[in-house]
A and B are shown apart, each in its own frame.
Chain A
Amino acid sequence: MKNTLMKYFIWLFITLAAHEATPQDFFATGIVLAMPLLFIPYFSWVIIPVFFICAMITIHAQKQNWKLWVGLDGDLHKTTKITGKKEQVGWPFCTIVEVTNEEISSNNKLLNLLLSCWVFIWTFTLIRLIPVEEITQILKFWYVPVFFFALSHRAAYSTIGTAPISLLGRLKSRRFIIPGYDKVYLAPAFSILAGGIVYLLVSSLSGIHALAESLSISTSLYIILSTGTSMREWAYTGQYQAHRPASPLSATNKISLPR
């Protein structure tokens, strides 16, 4: 166990060394990730600092990696530096600002795999800490994180635009599938499906529910991060209706009179 983990840490460290890592990033998260390991009785104390450092690097690398998935944050509206601060350009000029999120590269997929491994270790350790009589209750909720991942993906991508036809419109017009838009649902759907299949397979084959649960969650996370259309591709080729923010003109008049 120790040797395997050691190899994993070394591999992790070498892989992530190329990525920028600042010590202040996610210090607390690193602690949280390392915490479950303290409860493993056969785990050497020596490995804890190594594990902790690796956790911080992983999280920092994921922070960089995350940007390509989360994509459109407030920075989209901020483009230029005129008075030393970034200026907003409002809508619809913000659509001119180039979405710089990269495509999901093999390097990103590797990072996602590392994070998924981390999540696997974390959930597996946590579940094993729970008293046996409570496990059955907890295991009923294995799908909660899986659906959370899927919904988060959906929420992130919907920051750009919405479906060209509403659900009711689809039903009434019998246009049930819009390929150019519905491709955004592929990754979440596949993630939920894979999570479910992994859980059922592993639990029935091994009988270890904690293993099934952890594998299900980590597999689902890996798929949601690594598959489907990238944010950049979606922003430029997705067949969505662009969001139009509520006009601030009327809102302004409600709260203050022109000076």
Chain B
Amino acid sequence: MIKACNLIHHYGVRPILRNVSLEVGQGELVVLMGANGCGKSTLLGTMAGLLWPIEGHVEIDGLQRRSCVEAEIAIRKKMAYLPDHPWLTLARTGREYLMAVGQIYDLPTAHIMDHMERLLELFHLTDKGDSTMQSYSNGQQKKIAIAATLITEAPILLLDEPFTGGLDPSAILALKNVLGSLAQREDTTVVMASQLPEIAAATAHRIAVIQDGVILHYDSPTDLIKSQNSENLETALNDILNPETKNLLKAYFKGKELSK
């Protein structure tokens, strides 16, 4: 279980998180959604322990982050974080990298090797597995970073924009299905930042809609759609985040007709 309590964070004096509180239950898949710069990555980075909030704290399974050495080590070992721009060791091959990541999570070597081959196959990287990651395209580097996060088999996964970064349609489908499968499991908690309503609708148990560092809504996709009397999640999100869009569209098309 992840519990973010009254998080306040700002870069310089620019506020990013304004008293954000969020609870993610064990086995839940939560998607953070909102406009660019609204604080999704900051919230995720704070949960991942990479950022320290100005105020508030994060608890993972009842342990407060950075409260003591033993608690922090325990937290770090049960969590895997995929940043939007992962830092890969490009001089290593994909297989070496996945093995190294699997080993720091203390997984048995035979198990890592089996999982690694399945992941490489899933993301169409089997042929590239023995090439250095420097030779990978942007999309392939993103795929190997996702595979590295998945190979950890950590009970808590924090994914920052996993669907961006040049993923091809088959990789998007593969990841969507993997996340869908994880959402069915009781032992894996996933918090993901995403801009894609269709992905959120298909995978999320709950969606946190963030605007200017404040959580506006935190509901299941169905309840979110209902609350806005919308047809689907995309329009519901648009109604929450950009209510003026409908009027702007009307004005745009009205002006177009007048100019004819």
Judge: A and B partners, yes or no.
yes
Residue positions of A touching B, CB distance < 8 A: 77, 79-80, 82-83, 87-93, 95-98, 161, 164-166, 168-169, 172-173, 175, 180-181, 232-233, 236-242, 244-245, 247-250, 252-253, 256, 258-259
B134: CB under 8 A from chain A? yes
Number of B interface residues at 8 Å Cβ cutoff, please give it.
47
B18: CB under 8 A from chain A? no
B10: CB under 8 A from chain A? yes
**Nearest A residue (CB) for B14:** A169
State A172–B91 Cα separation when bound (angstroms): 43
Contact A258 B137 (CB under 8 A): yes
Q: 10 other contacts beyond A96-B104, A239-B66, with CB at 8 A cut-off?
A: A83-B96, A87-B92, A87-B99, A88-B91, A91-B83, A92-B87, A95-B50, A164-B54, A169-B10, A242-B51
Minimum CB–CB distance for A241 against chain B, Å:
5
Minimum CB–CB distance for A18 against chain B, Å:
26
Contact A248 B104 (CB under 8 A): no
Residue positions of B touching A, CB distance < 8 A: 10-13, 48-54, 66-69, 72-73, 76-77, 80-81, 83, 85-92, 96-97, 99-101, 103-105, 131, 134-138, 140-141, 148
- Chain B contacts for A166, CB-based, 8 A: 12
- Chain B contacts for A172, CB-based, 8 A: 12-13
- Chain B contacts for A82, CB-based, 8 A: 96, 99-100, 103
Contact B96 A96 (CB under 8 A): no
State A253–B142 Cα separation when bound (angstroms): 14
Minimum CB–CB distance for B119 against chain A, Å:
15
Contact B99 A92 (CB under 8 A): no
- Chain B contacts for A245, CB-based, 8 A: 87
Minimum CB–CB distance for A214 against chain B, Å:
37
